[in-house]
Structure 1
Amino acid sequence: MTAPFFTDRLDDARARVEACLAGLLGPDPRAGETTRPPTLMAAIRHGVLNGGKRFRPFLVIESTRLFDGPAQAALRVGAALECIHCYSLIHDDLPAMDDDDLRRGRPTVHKAYDEASAILAGDSLLTLAFDIIADDETALSPEARLKLVAALSRAAGIGGMAGGQALDLAAEKTPPDEEGIVTLQAMKTGALIRFGAEAGAMIAGTGEDERRRLHRYGAVIGLAFQLADDLLDLTADAETMGKATGKDAGRGKGTLVALHGPEWAERRLGELVTEAESLLSPFGAKAEVLVEAARFVARRKS
């Protein structure tokens, strides 16, 4: 069972992130913009303001809190990260990618609007993410903002999430071995989660040791997140998940769960939670929410 204090903090972060995103995705153009086309904005808002746990920005907020960093800057960086995540989902659902009709229990953007609108919505969110971090309203030093832009670029790009999607598409033709599966998942799913976990250290301006520890914590829970997702893909139904299930198996894609079985996956999830707890132990009670986040990832049912 998820601890009540964790649920409260996750719900609070979700509400604040939703409000921040709603403001950033308003109809009025910002300085330097000419206009915001209404249909494009509607497609973007459909793909972003549609529920979701907002787990990645929650990690930014909580990792910043761990080091007593500035909360408002963390909220904006978290919103930027969520823009990247939502762009990836919009594009991932396209017919040329995973070809999904349902996301979070609603029609995907290309179904609710059209493919061109979905592509442009994703493109807009990708660029908006870096706009948010670079903007003076993200009250951090120019050096801190530059570090965050560089780290998020690499997490989202060729050697991160986008590259992981390319590997995922290739896996439909040539199933990868175990090492290949781990690499693919560390990029497609893990990279943005790692960024969320270590962003707090950059926002708070900690030393490199703390950043490396949070980076590893992010890698561990990123692997747990994907492992739990693959397990749910086998055991949950589409109504519970809010999206189609069983598609990876149907396309012949390899997963660690398919390779080793559900019992192995459950054991491995337990090991990953233990490693996460160990990584956070030097921070004592201040890390309690992040420890519970690792347990939440391993036990989630949707």
Structure 2
Amino acid sequence: MSADSAGAAAVALKRWGARADEALARALPREEQQPLELHRAMRYAVLGGGKRLRPVLVYATGTAFGASPEALDSPACAVEIIHAYSLVHDDLPAMDDDDLRRGRQTCHVVFGEAMAILAGDALQALAFEVLANDARLQADACNQVEMLRTLAAACGAHGMAGGQAFDLAAVGKTLTPGELERMHVYKTGALIRASVRLGALAAGCRDAATLAALERYGHAIGLAFQIRDDILDVEGDSATIGKTAGKDAANEKPTYPGILGMDAARAQLLQHTRTAIDAVVPLGARFNPLAGLARFVAERGS
């Protein structure tokens, strides 16, 4: 990864991440609005930092097609709100049972399990409300419905929830590489792919070939993200990665280093990163930020 490419990706993350933070703060219920504790838990879960990769992918993709930032705010918020809800539920004692997320206590530790469950439920509903209420999207009802469908598919039984089910069933078991990939195509990859697609749809892209290229990009960067996450779980520390390091191994969860070995996991990471970049290079220079983000994902935390 060149210094210029790394710098451009870092600038994009900072700029679009800051915009996402501002849009999210507006989209969430106010803390002083009843029911107070629920709204505080929702804001705590969403506004507690994070890489904001998913909304950044929305902004980067939509901007490449010439969309204004204002046209991309609601899909960017929607994907990050869904992501935040998934983390709240993922950290619960019945799931991964973690007490550290984004460098601070998890939502259920601060607000209790019942309120954390409700916060996650309310956040999932809010994501669709944000998309449905956007007046810019309402101008093209068919496209708005497709965006809602895209988001719903990404977080349902053939998306995050299905991936989480595979994950729970895999604890203590040895998966084949194909089974491991399937799990993460659902659990991690679905929302990342949706982020890219939502950015394109919000910008008015209807070209099937272009959408297919972006789907390949999203698929590859989603797997690269997960492999890098697995590597960081082994090599990183809690202060750096913002969550409990070594948690996967302690919980006997299948990971890329655990199943493939570290060298093969690194090779897979490089392969998926190249695939992501190759998917968008033919689309032209305006998609360079997406290529830079793919490289950034592959090297984050290093």
- Pick the TM interval, shorter chain: over 0.9
User: How many percent identity over aligned positions?
Assistant: 42
Change over 3 Å in CA distance of 1:60–1:157 after alignment to 2:
same
Structure 1 unmatched runs, 5+? 30-34
Give how far 1:256 is off.
2.0
Does structure 2 retain, via aligned residues, the 8 Å contact 1:201–1:210?
no
Q: CA separation in 1, counterparts of 2:52 and 2:136?
A: 19
Partner residue, 1:32: none
Q: Give the structure 1 partner of residue 298 of structure 2.
A: 298
Instruction: Give the one of 6, 9, 31 matched to 2:9.
Output: 6
Q: Is the 8 A contact 1:78 1:196 kept in 2?
A: yes
Q: How does 1:45-194 map to 2 (within 5 A)?
A: 45-140=43-138, 141-194=140-193
SS in 2 for 1:3: helix
2:258 match: 258
Worse overlay, 4-13 or 103-112: 4-13
Deviation, 1:36, is 3.4
What's the offset of the Cα at 1:252?
Answer: 1.9
CA change 1:118–1:163 in 2 (3 A) is: same
Alpha-carbon shift at residue 73 of structure 1 (Å): 2.3
Whether the 8 Å contact between 1:194 and 1:219 is mirrored in structure 2 is: yes
Q: In 2, Cα distance between the equivalents of 1:138 and 1:94?
A: 36
Query: Are 1:24 and 2:22 an aligned pair?
Result: no
Q: Is the 8 A contact 2:155 2:191 kept in 1?
A: yes
CA distance in 2, matches of 1:130, 1:25: 13
Contact 1:73 1:138 in 2 (8 A): yes
SS in 1 for 2:284: helix
1:195 paired with 2:194, answer yes
Flag structure 2 segments of 5+ consecutive residues without an equivalent.
Answer: none
Counterpart of 2:202, as a letter, is I
User: Structure 1 counterpart of 2:24, which letter?
Assistant: L
Instruction: Single out whichever of 45-54 and 263-272 deviates more from structure 2.
Output: 263-272
Q: Give the 5 Å matches for 1:256-295.
A: 256-295=256-295
Change (3 A) 1:27 1:173: same
Distance 1:47 1:14 in 2: 16
Note the alpha carbon deviations across 1:33-67, whole angstroms, 9 max, x for none: xx631111111111111111110000011111111
Give the conservation status (yes or no) of the 8 Å contact 1:171–1:253.
yes
Three-state SS of the structure 1 residue aligned to 2:135 is: coil
Q: Deviations over 1:159-207 (max 9, x none)?
A: 1001101111111154422211111011111100011112222112221
Q: Which moved more, 1:277-286 or 1:182-191?
A: 277-286
What letter matches 2:237 in structure 1?
D
CA–CA distance in structure 1, aligned partners of residues 278 and 27 of structure 2: 37
Contact 1:57 1:81 in 2 (8 A): yes
Distance 1:297 1:28, change over 3 A: closer
Checking the alignment, whether the CA contact within 8 Å between 1:175 and 1:252 is kept in structure 2 is no
Report if aligned partners of 1:154, 1:160 keep a CA contact under 8 Å in 2. Answer: yes
Following the alignment from structure 1 to structure 2, what is the Cα–Cα distance between the partners of residues 175 and 194?
27
Deviations 1:68-94 (A, max 9, x none): 124312121010100000000000000
Match of 1:36 among 34, 37, 51: 34
Aligned residue identity for 1:17? A
Give the whole-Å Cα distance in 2 for the aligned partners of 1:252 and 1:107: 23
- Write the distance in 2 (CA, Å) between the matches of 1:28 and 1:233: 34
- Range moving further from structure 2, 76-85 or 17-26: 17-26
TM-score relative to the length of structure 2: 0.94
Q: CA deviation at 1:246?
A: 1.3
Q: Is the 8 A contact 1:13 1:61 kept in 2?
A: yes
